[in-house]
Structure 1
Amino acid sequence: MINKSQKSTRLFGTNGIRGIPNMDLTPEFCSRVGKAIGTVFKTRDIAMGKDTRVSGEMIWSAVESGILSTGVNVTDLGILPTPALQYYCKVHSVYGVIITASHNPPKFNGIKCIDKDGTELQREREEEIEFIVEQGEFMKADVKNMGQRTFYPLAVNDYIEGIKKIITPENVKKAEFRVAIDTGNGAAFRSSPELLTELNCKVVTLNANPDGNFTSRNSEPKPENLGDLIALMKTGKFDLGVAHDGDADRCVFVDENGNFIDGDRSLALIVKYFTSRGSKVVTPVSSSDVIEDVCNKNGAVLVKTRVGAPIVSRTMIKEKALVGGEENGGIIYGRHQYCRDGAMAMALVLDLMAREKKKISALLSDLPAYAMYKTSTELTEDWNQVRKRIIDRAGAEEIDFTDGLKLYLREGWVLARPSGTEPIMRIFAQSKTVEKARELAEFIIKIASP
C-alpha cells in the first residue's frame, strides 16, 4: 500500500485515465501506467480489451508492454464492450484493463482498470497505481520470467450466454420482436446484434461496423446524435429502437413511434417491474424523482449516492441492491454483474415487453412525468467560492450536500457539482416542464458567475 501522506498527481478521473493519444497518452506514459498496473496488481494474469478507436492499438501495445515487463501475463480478449470484459474478469476472478474513452469524441482514448469481481477499480487502488507511476518503482522481470500474451476469442460468446441466463429467452423468442439497433461504430458492433439474433429478433442494424473515427455519428447516444435511428422508428415497422455509446456500457431506447426515452425513465421501468417490497435500488442524486416515486409505490428502498458509476456499483454491493444506475442510460442489474451493462439493459427491456405483452410506450405510460435539463458551464474560480455564492444567493428551501449542491427550489431542484475530469460545473435541473427546468439551471449559472 502507498504512504497516504505522499500524494501523487491524479491520473484517474471518474472513468479511468482519459486524454489525447500522443499528447497526454504518449507511448512512454502508457508503458509506465502498464508497469505500474503490473506492479500494483501482483498477479499472474490480466485480461485486456479495447473499443474500436483508431488509437487503441498504439495505447494497448504500450500498456501491454509495461505489464509484460513486470512478469504478468496478458490475456487478449480483442475488441469487445467494456461490460463483456468485466464479465470475463468476474467469472475468471482476474484483473482487467480496457482501452476506451467510452462516449468521448474519437480524438480521445483512455485506460480503465477492472477489479477481480468485474467492478471498476476502487479509488484507493488507483491511487496506488498513480504513486508507482510517479515514483517509477516498478517490478522488473528477468528474461526467463517475462509475461506472455495469450488469446481468448470467446469472451463475447461467454458474455452473450451470461445475459441469456438472466432473462427468459423462450418468451423473447416467441415474441419475434422487430428491433432497430445503432451500435455507433463502437465496441458492440458484433455483440448486441448477435444477442438480438439469438433471441429470434428481426434485426436492422445501423453503424454496426467497427469505425474508430465514429464517422456516422457522435458516440454519445443523445437524441441529437440519433436522427437516423429515430427516423427509422417513425416508419412504424419496429417494436424497439436501441443505441449504445462507444464501449456499450450504456443503452438508450426509442419507442415504436420514434420517441426518445430518457435514461431516467428506462431505469424507472426496470425498477418498477424487477423490484418488490424490501428490494434496494441505488442511484445518484442527479437522477429524477421518477425513480423515487416508483420505489415508494413498490415498497423498495432507494439509496442515493454521489454521481459516478463506480460509486453506484460499490454502494449496490454494500447494500446488496438489485437494481441501480444513472440518468444517462447506465443500468446496473445485480443478478448479472455490478457494472453498467448496455446489452443486459436491452435484454431486460425485451424480456419485460415479452412478459407483459405490451409495447414499450404502454409500459412507460403510467410512470410519473418529470422534465429534466442538463448543461454545464466553465468553472473559472475555486469551487468553494462558487459554492458559497450559490448557497448565499439561491434562496433554496433545502440543500442536499451529498455531491456538490442539490438545491430544492419552489418550482423544482437543481444539482450543481464540479466535474471530476474537466474545469466545468455540471448542472442537472428538474421541474414540471423542460422550459422551467432550463430557467432554473440558468438561474443557478447566473448567480454562480463572478
Structure 2
Amino acid sequence: MFGTSGIRGEVGQKVTAQLAFDVGRALASEGYERVVVGRDARESGPLFADAVSAGVRDCGGDAVRAGVVATPTLARSVWRVDGDAGVMVTASHNPPKDNGLKLWDVTSQAFDESKQAAIADRLRNDKFEPQGSQQLGAEISAPDLDENHRSALCETTDLDDDLSVVVDAGNGPGILTADVLRDLGCSVTTVNGERDGRLSGRPSEPTADHCSDLCAIVAGTDADFGVAHDGDADRMMAVTDEGEFVSGDVLLALFGRRYAEEGTQVAAPLNTSLAVDDALASVGASLTRTKVGDGFVADRLRDENVVFGGEPSGAWIWPDETLCPDGPLAACRLAQLVSERGPLSELVETVETYPTKRTSIPTDDKRAQMEAVVESLTDEYDEVDTRDGVRVGVDDGWFLVRASGTQPLVRVTAEAETDDRATQLFDRAVELVENARADGGRAVRGQ
C-alpha cells in the first residue's frame, strides 16, 4: 500500500475518497489526536483533503486545515500548530490523473516503515474507532503556514550579492520560492507561476526534457541561474547561467562538498553517482548509501555525523533545518552557494562526472520480475547489494535494477569509467529485466 513516497496512484483506481477517509480514521484511531491536512493544487485535491479531514473527525481527532501548501511547508508546520501528525494530499511529480497521501510526524519526517505498517494494518482490517456525536473531532483553520516557512528560510539564508533567478514553480505551491528569493533581494522571473490543478504548463517532474523552456529563458537573459519544482515543491532542480540543466548527481556533489566537513558523511541512495564520492573525498568527507526514497535518507540523517542528504531526483535535506525534502530551502541554499563561490556554470565544471545511463521499463508484475533478476545477478556477480532492488559493483563501475516504489516500472541505472563500459553494464541489466518479463518472472542466467 505504501510506496517509497506514501500512497500514490490513479484517482478513482488506487486513490479514492474512501481510501482518504479511511486514512484519516486510521490516524485518529492510532492516537493522532490533532492532524494537519494540506494539499497541492491538483483538481482532485479538495475532495481528498475533505475526506481525510472527515475521517480524522469521525474517530475523534481534530483536523487542522492548511489549504494549498508545499509539502515541506506542511511537514515543517506539524509541530507549529501543536499537531501530532500531518497528511499531505499530493502525487508530487506524478501526472495530473494521479493523487496520493503522504504522512508526516511531528519531527517533520515522513512516517517510517513501522508507523506506516500500523496505519496499513488498520486499513486492511477496518480497525477504526468511530465516535458518537459528543466525541466527534473539530475542523480548525491553520494560521498562515506559508509565512512561517518563508520567514524561516529568510532567517537562515545570507546572500552577498543581488542575484537574478528564474523560478519555474510547476503550476503548484513552489511559487513560495519566488517570494522568498525576492525577500532576500533577488530579481526573480517566474515561469508556470499560476496554480493550475491540471499542471498544464509542463509535466510535473522537473527533468531536463521537461525544463527546456526554463533553460531557454535563463540562457536568453542575464539570470544567474534557474530552479524548477515539481507539483508539491519537495523537489528542486537547477539550470546554470548558461542555460544548461544540472544533473541531480552534480547538484548533490556541489551541495555535499559545500556542507560536509572532514570526517562527516552525506546520505544518498544506492543509485548515486561515483562523482559524489569523489567530491566528498576532496573535503575529507564520505558518502553513506541508503535505500532509494527520501524517507530512508532522512532516517540516516538522524545519525549525528551525517550533515546533509539528498537524492539525484531532486530531494535535498538539511537536518539542521528539517527532515523533509524542501525545494524552496534548496533554492535558497543554491543561491547562497552561487553568491559565495561564483557562477553555477563554473561550479558545475569542477565536478568530474562519469558516463551514466538510465531507463524505466514498464512491467505488469514488478515483484516477480525483480525476484528473477536478483536471483540471476546473485549467481553471476560477486559484489551484490540487495537492500533495495539489486546493485552490482564491478571494478570500473556499477549498475542498479530496482522496482519503482510508486509506478509500475522497473528502473535501471548504470555508471562506469568509460562510455563503452557503462553501455555494456546497462545493456546487460536491461537484458535481464526484459528477459525476466518475457519469461513470466523466471530467472535468466548469464552467459
Task: State the TM-score, normalized to the length of structure 2.
Answer: 0.92
* Corresponding position of 1:218: 203
**1:306-326 deviation line (CA, Å, top 9, x unaligned):** 111101101111345210011
Q: For 1:302 and 1:246, how far apart are their aligned partners in 2?
A: 29
Q: For 1:60 and 1:197, how far apart are their aligned partners in 2?
A: 31
**1:200-223 deviation line (CA, Å, top 9, x unaligned):** 111110000111111110000011
- Do residues 183 (structure 1) and 169 (structure 2) align? yes
In the alignment, which of 17, 42, 67 is matched to residue 78 of structure 1?
Answer: 67
- Do residues 248 (structure 1) and 233 (structure 2) align? yes
* Corresponding position of 1:8: none
* CA positional deviation for 1:339: 1.8
* Corresponding position of 1:139: 129
Q: For 1:337 and 1:368, how far apart are their aligned partners in 2?
A: 30
- Indicate how the Cα distance of structure 1 residues 447 and 45 shifts in structure 2: closer, same or farther if over 3 A, else same: closer
* Corresponding position of 1:88: 77
Q: For 1:90 and 1:311, how far apart are their aligned partners in 2?
A: 21
In the alignment, which of 236, 255, 260 is matched to residue 275 of structure 1?
Answer: 260
**1:36-55 deviation line (CA, Å, top 9, x unaligned):** 11111x13311111000000
Letter in 2 for 1:74: A
Letter in 2 for 1:158: N
In the alignment, which of 140, 154, 161 is matched to residue 150 of structure 1?
Answer: 140
* CA positional deviation for 1:436: 5.3
* Corresponding position of 1:58: 47
Q: For 1:337 and 1:401, how far apart are their aligned partners in 2?
A: 29
Q: For 1:435 and 1:256, how far apart are their aligned partners in 2?
A: 31
In the alignment, which of 366, 369, 382 is matched to residue 350 of structure 2?
Answer: 366
The answer as to whether partners of 1:414 and 1:427 remain within 8 angstroms in 2 is yes
In the alignment, which of 20, 23, 43 is matched to residue 32 of structure 2?
Answer: 43
Q: For 2:223 and 2:419, how far apart are their aligned partners in 1?
A: 28
Q: For 1:156 and 1:368, how far apart are their aligned partners in 2?
A: 38
> Partner of 1:258: helix, strand, or coil?
coil
Q: For 1:438 and 1:226, how far apart are their aligned partners in 2?
A: 26
Deviates more, 1:437-446 or 1:42-51: 437-446
The answer as to whether partners of 2:370 and 2:389 remain within 8 angstroms in 1 is no
The answer as to whether partners of 1:180 and 1:229 remain within 8 angstroms in 2 is yes
> Partner of 1:325: helix, strand, or coil?
strand
> Partner of 1:242: helix, strand, or coil?
strand
* Corresponding position of 2:112: 122
* CA positional deviation for 1:363: 1.9
- Do residues 292 (structure 1) and 277 (structure 2) align? yes
* Corresponding position of 2:89: 99
The answer as to whether partners of 1:236 and 1:257 remain within 8 angstroms in 2 is no
How many residues align? The count is: 431
> Partner of 2:78: helix, strand, or coil?
helix
* Corresponding position of 1:376: 360
Letter in 2 for 1:302: L
**1:205-260 deviation line (CA, Å, top 9, x unaligned):** 00001111111100000111111101111114210111001111110000010110
> Partner of 2:372: helix, strand, or coil?
helix
- Indicate how the Cα distance of structure 1 residues 134 and 445 shifts in structure 2: closer, same or farther if over 3 A, else same: same
- Indicate how the Cα distance of structure 1 residues 434 and 111 shifts in structure 2: closer, same or farther if over 3 A, else same: farther
* CA positional deviation for 1:154: 1.2
- Indicate how the Cα distance of structure 1 residues 417 and 129 shifts in structure 2: closer, same or farther if over 3 A, else same: same
Q: For 2:330 and 2:77, how far apart are their aligned partners in 1?
A: 18
* CA positional deviation for 1:128: 1.1
The answer as to whether partners of 2:5 and 2:405 remain within 8 angstroms in 1 is no
* CA positional deviation for 1:274: 1.5
Q: For 1:80 and 1:417, how far apart are their aligned partners in 2?
A: 31
> Partner of 1:353: helix, strand, or coil?
helix
Q: For 2:44 and 2:113, how far apart are their aligned partners in 1?
A: 26
> Percent identity between the aligned chains?
30
- Indicate how the Cα distance of structure 1 residues 429 and 91 shifts in structure 2: closer, same or farther if over 3 A, else same: farther
The answer as to whether partners of 1:397 and 1:410 remain within 8 angstroms in 2 is no
- Do residues 387 (structure 1) and 387 (structure 2) align? no
The answer as to whether partners of 2:154 and 2:183 remain within 8 angstroms in 1 is no
The answer as to whether partners of 2:362 and 2:410 remain within 8 angstroms in 1 is yes
Deviates more, 1:383-392 or 1:155-164: 383-392
Q: For 1:258 and 1:397, how far apart are their aligned partners in 2?
A: 42
> Partner of 1:137: helix, strand, or coil?
coil
* CA positional deviation for 1:433: 5.8
The answer as to whether partners of 2:267 and 2:309 remain within 8 angstroms in 1 is yes
* Corresponding position of 1:3: none
Q: For 1:92 and 1:60, how far apart are their aligned partners in 2?
A: 18
Letter in 1 for 2:115: R
The answer as to whether partners of 2:374 and 2:386 remain within 8 angstroms in 1 is no
Alignment of structure 1 residues 158-169 onto 2, 5 Å: 158-168=148-158
> Partner of 1:160: helix, strand, or coil?
helix
Q: For 1:433 and 1:141, how far apart are their aligned partners in 2?
A: 64
Gaps of 5+ in 1: 1-10
- Indicate how the Cα distance of structure 1 residues 236 and 146 shifts in structure 2: closer, same or farther if over 3 A, else same: same
The answer as to whether partners of 1:282 and 1:305 remain within 8 angstroms in 2 is yes
Task: State the TM-score, normalized to the length of structure 1.
Answer: 0.91
**1:256-286 deviation line (CA, Å, top 9, x unaligned):** 1011000111111111111211222111111
* CA positional deviation for 1:69: 0.8
Q: For 1:249 and 1:347, how far apart are their aligned partners in 2?
A: 13
* Corresponding position of 1:447: 432
* CA positional deviation for 1:408: 2.5
